[in-house]
């Protein structure tokens, strides 16, 4: 297939903007694959902050990062991503953040991300984002809470100022069973208004 599927598309966006030494966020670490991917991109002089409320996710991700020899540039927090602004060091600026919304793959499907905390987390991530940085939301909506969260996130993203943000939706529209899709939000350079 020449069209990129959802996760490769999101990783391609991240690869285009993240440089060694950058600071980034994995807002929902899950099984740690995005965390390890981000750790490779930022290198030994960069840093990844990862959030998850489940100890299972922290343990699985810790093991993966250790196996890949990238644990030193990652801080894992067993906390809601909604609290990221309060938990990160003061004046942290990030180049990117990625969210995989829904439940932990292979985990307890009754524990999911929730619309209210997700919107608070997106708001925090956008406030920490540098100009040209990107927040990526991979939206899994094949479950009841996922439908609620999808609607809330789309409403939030569509209302963002086009002067401050570019917002992209990437999805396959002819697939069955509520396939995941991506919302990517890029922070724009705000041009000063010239005096006449």
Instruction: Tell me the C-alpha distance between 46 and 31, whole Å.
Output: 21
Instruction: Tell me the C-alpha distance between 5 and 1, whole Å.
Output: 9
Two structure tokens written together for 26:
């994995």
CATH topology for the 6-179 domain: Rossmann fold (3.40.50)
Residue ranges per structural domain of the chain: 6-179
What confidence score (pLDDT) does residue 64 get?
97
Two structure tokens written together for 98:
């990625």
Q: Tell me: the pLDDT tens digits for 70-118?
A: 999 999 999 999 999 999 988 899 999 999 987 667 766 667 777 789 9
Query: Residue 175's pLDDT band (boundaries 50, 70, 90)?
Result: confident
Instruction: Tell me the C-alpha distance between 127 and 85, whole Å.
Output: 8
Kindly report the pTM of this predicted structure.
Answer: 0.91
What confidence score (pLDDT) does residue 151 get?
87
């Amino acid at each position: 297939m020449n069209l990129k599927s959802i996760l490769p598309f999101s990783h391609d966006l991240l690869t285009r903007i993240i440089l060694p030494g950058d600071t980034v966020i994995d807002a929902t670490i899950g099984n740690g694959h995005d965390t390890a991917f981000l750790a490779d991109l930022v290198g030994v002089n960069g840093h990844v902050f990862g959030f998850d409320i489940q100890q299972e996710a922290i343990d699985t991700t810790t093991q993966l990062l250790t196996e890949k020899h990238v644990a030193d540039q990652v801080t894992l927090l067993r906390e809601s991503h909604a609290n990221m602004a309060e938990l990160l060091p003061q004046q942290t600026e990030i180049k990117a953040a990625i969210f995989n919304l829904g439940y932990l793959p292979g985990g307890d499907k009754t524990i999911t991300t929730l619309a209210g905390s997700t919107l608070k987390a997106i708001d925090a991530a956008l406030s920490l984002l540098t100009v040209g940085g990107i927040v990526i939301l991979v939206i899994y909506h094949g479950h009841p809470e996922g439908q609620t969260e999808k609607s809330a996130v789309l409403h939030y993203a569509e209302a963002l100022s086009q002067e401050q943000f570019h917002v992209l939706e990437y999805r396959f529209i002819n697939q069955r069973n509520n396939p995941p899709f991506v919302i990517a939000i890029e922070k724009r350079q705000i041009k000063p208004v010239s005096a006449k």
